[in-house]
Amino acid sequence: MKLKKLLVRTLLYGFLITAFIVSVFPFYWMLTGMTNSAVDVIKGKMTFGDQLFNNFKVLFTNHNLGRILMNSFKVSILTVLGALLVSSMAAYGFEMYSSKARDRAYNILLLSMMIPFAALMIPLFRMIVKLKLLDKHAGLILTSIASVFLIFFFRQSFKSFPKEIIQAARVDGASEIRIFLSIVIPSMKATYAAAAIYSFMISWNAYLWPLIVLQSEKQKTITLLISSLSSAYFPEYGVIMAAIVVATLPIILVFFTLQNYFVQGMTGSVKQ
């Protein structure tokens, strides 16, 4: 009996440790990879090398990393700010001022979450061309500010917001907009943080839509850079590794500083 228990424990921890190594190893490998030359990376060298400076020099001088990072941050930050304001406002409107017509509209929006992006991509692209937003960052930002998922996410949290506070503020003569801006928003910081992380990740990691909208080199974002570097005829593997680390680092930093909000933001408010 004791032997069996020991065996089960060994298997269990063996399984967990394997899962741990498999999950974490690629991160370790990308860190060593960015310090190695192309030949060493492809040979699978697992220790740190001395090419770190060189790889970044190539990224900054030949591939314009500075500009590309600026583009990525600009698009993501503006999208996050817009998305938080617009989506939380909408969720507030849907939740706090209930009406049949708006509930119907909300249900239609929820249903549209099931529609894959591919199904709207083509008309969306033609619209962007007509609006002369092709190859402009505004074409990315404008189309992703309103997010059904974020509206749903905010509405779930507004459900538990005490309505008495709003009533009391009304009695005190505060206007509806003022109540939202200076009472509701400040007391929902955790929700906003989680939503911001979700929105930032979606925007920072986007690939298909930027690939279609952005066409010139100088407008590109970091995901487009990685993709084009890796499909080169002679890929510079060490340089690609450095670019991957640059693309991954901001999100990992946010993850480790705001872990609880992060998981909440990624998994939404799924309750049984």
Partner 1 sequence: MAGGTNKKSFINVQNRYGWFFVSIAIVLLGVFLLYPIFHSLYLSTTSSKGIVQKFVGITNYTRLFKDQMFLIALKNTFIFFIIQVPIMLLLGLVLASILNNKSVKFRGVFRTAIFLPAVTSLVAYTVLFKMMFGLDGFINTMLLNLHIIREPIPWLLDPFWAKVTVIIALTWRWTGYNMVFYLSGMQNIPDDLYEAAEIDGANKIQQFFYITIPMLKPIIVFTSIMSTIGTLQLFDEPMNLSQGGVTGSTTGPGNSLLTLSVYIYNLCFKFMPNFGYAATVSYVIVFIVAMLAIVQFKLAGDKK
Q: Which pair of structure tokens corresponds to residue 267? A: 């998994």
Question: How many helices (H) and strands (E) are present in the chain, helices listed first?
Answer: 16, 0
Q: How far apart are CB 94 and partner 1 at their closest, in Å?
A: 6
Question: Is residue 48 part of the contact set for partner 1 (CB under 8 A)?
Answer: no
Question: Is residue 107 part of the contact set for partner 1 (CB under 8 A)?
Answer: no
CA-to-CA distance for 64 and 60, rounded, in angstroms? 5
Nearer to partner 1, 52 or 235 (CB): 235
Q: How far apart are CB 177 and partner 1 at their closest, in Å?
A: 8
Nearer to partner 1, 44 or 162 (CB): 44
User: Hey, how many other C-beta atoms are within 10 angstroms of the C-beta on 183?
Assistant: 16
DSSP code, position 45:
-
Q: How far is CA 91 from CA 2, 23, 96, 179, 184, in A?
A: 56, 36, 8, 15, 12
Determine the 3-state secondary structure of 206 from DSSP. Answer: coil
Question: Is residue 158 part of the contact set for partner 1 (CB under 8 A)?
Answer: no
Question: Is residue 41 part of the contact set for partner 1 (CB under 8 A)?
Answer: yes
Question: Is residue 93 part of the contact set for partner 1 (CB under 8 A)?
Answer: yes
* Contact indicator for 71, 85 with CB cutoff of 8 Å: no
Question: Is residue 6 part of the contact set for partner 1 (CB under 8 A)?
Answer: no
Helix (H) / strand (E) containing 225 = helix 222-230
**Residues 50-69: x where in contact with partner 1 by CB under 8 A, - otherwise, as a string:** --------------------
CA-to-CA distance for 253 and 250, rounded, in angstroms? 5
Binding residues with partner 1: total (CB under 8 A): 86
Interface residue with partner 1 among 29, 73, 161, 192 (CB under 8 A) is 29
Q: How far apart are CB 87 and partner 1 at their closest, in Å?
A: 6
Interface residue with partner 1 among 59, 68, 90, 188 (CB under 8 A) is 90
**Residues 217-246: x where in contact with partner 1 by CB under 8 A, - otherwise, as a string:** ------x--xxxxxx-----x--xx--x--
